[in-house]
Chains A and B, each alone.
Chain A
Amino acid sequence: ETGVTQTPRHLVMGMTNKKSLKCEQHLGHNAMYWYKQSAKKPLELMFVYSLEERVENNSVPSRFSPECPNSSHLFLHLHTLQPEDSALYLCASSPHRGYNSPLHFGNGTRLTVT
């Protein structure tokens, strides 16, 4: 149990579908992150939230829409995705925004876009 729970673990969706990924952390952290992990590529930071406010958006296409209703929950809403969006999507949290303490990751959602 990592303290960061992601659902679903696996998701298959067509390019016209709308789906959402959910992340919940039970660590009392104030910062939450979405990362994309594709084969043979480094982890890509997508979004950062600090105290429910989006503080970073790293040139992510608008077909990915994050939502952070409170400091414990983070969502990634998906619509009209492309096959190249297939990847492992990882949620992480940390006590505060910034990287002077470790990130705590969930086990990810394996997304396949058909």
Chain B
Amino acid sequence: SQQGEEDPQALSIQEGENATMNCSYKTSINNLQWYRQNSGRGLVHLILIRSNEREKHSGRLRVTLDTSKKSSSLLITASRAADTASYFCATDHTGANSKLTFGKGITLSVRP
């Protein structure tokens, strides 16, 4: 399977702490994307990082990509209760049958 695998499956932290979520994949990619999903809602795109990039920032979000290890991490700094959601990584793999492959997601709970 090409799908990204997120780690951990669930994470519970206190408001103000940092949250780190990881994603690993198996075959080469064009890009890797992180999405957030609040309960009962659709997915919202957070950051897209291309295979030739190593780090990207967006507000309190920092994404790194290590293509040699086939892994990515999403760091949320100074977490807030509103960050409580499921987070998914999705990988666009190289090859003729390009498809965005999603992982099963990480459930993040931020305690006020």
Give the residue among A42, A105, A110 with the most B Cβ atoms within 10 A. A42
Chain A residues within 8 Å of B40, by CB: 107, 110
**Chain B min CB distance to A31 (Å):** 11
Query: A106 to B90, alpha carbons, bound, how many Å?
Result: 17
Size of the B side of the interface (Cβ < 8 Å), in residues, is 23
Query: A106 to B48, alpha carbons, bound, how many Å?
Result: 19
Chain A residues within 8 Å of B42, by CB: 2, 4, 6, 90, 92, 105-108
Q: Which A residues, 64 to 114, have Cβ-Cβ distances below 8 Å to chain B?
A: 90, 92, 98-108, 110
- Count class of interface residues, chain A: 20 to 34
Contact B43 A101 (CB under 8 A): no
Query: A41 to B3, alpha carbons, bound, how many Å?
Result: 11
Contact A99 B104 (CB under 8 A): no
Given A4-B42, A43-B88: A101 and B48 interface contact (C-beta under 8 Å): yes
**Chain B min CB distance to A90 (Å):** 6
Contact A42 B99 (CB under 8 A): no
Given A42-B3, A42-B103: A103 and B43 interface contact (C-beta under 8 Å): yes
Instruction: Check B79 for interface membership: any CB of A closer than 8 A.
Output: no
Instruction: Check B30 for interface membership: any CB of A closer than 8 A.
Output: yes
Query: A102 to B40, alpha carbons, bound, how many Å?
Result: 20
Instruction: Check A45 for interface membership: any CB of B closer than 8 A.
Output: yes
Given A42-B104, A99-B30: A107 and B48 interface contact (C-beta under 8 Å): no
Closest to B33 in A: A102
Instruction: Check B102 for interface membership: any CB of A closer than 8 A.
Output: yes
Given A2-B42, A90-B43: A102 and B48 interface contact (C-beta under 8 Å): yes
- What 7 A-B pairs have minimum CB-CB distances, sorted nearest first? A105-B42, A102-B45, A99-B92, A43-B102, A99-B100, A105-B43, A107-B42
Could you jot down 8 A-B contacts, CB within 8 Å?
A42-B104, A90-B42, A99-B98, A101-B48, A103-B100, A105-B35, A105-B43, A105-B44
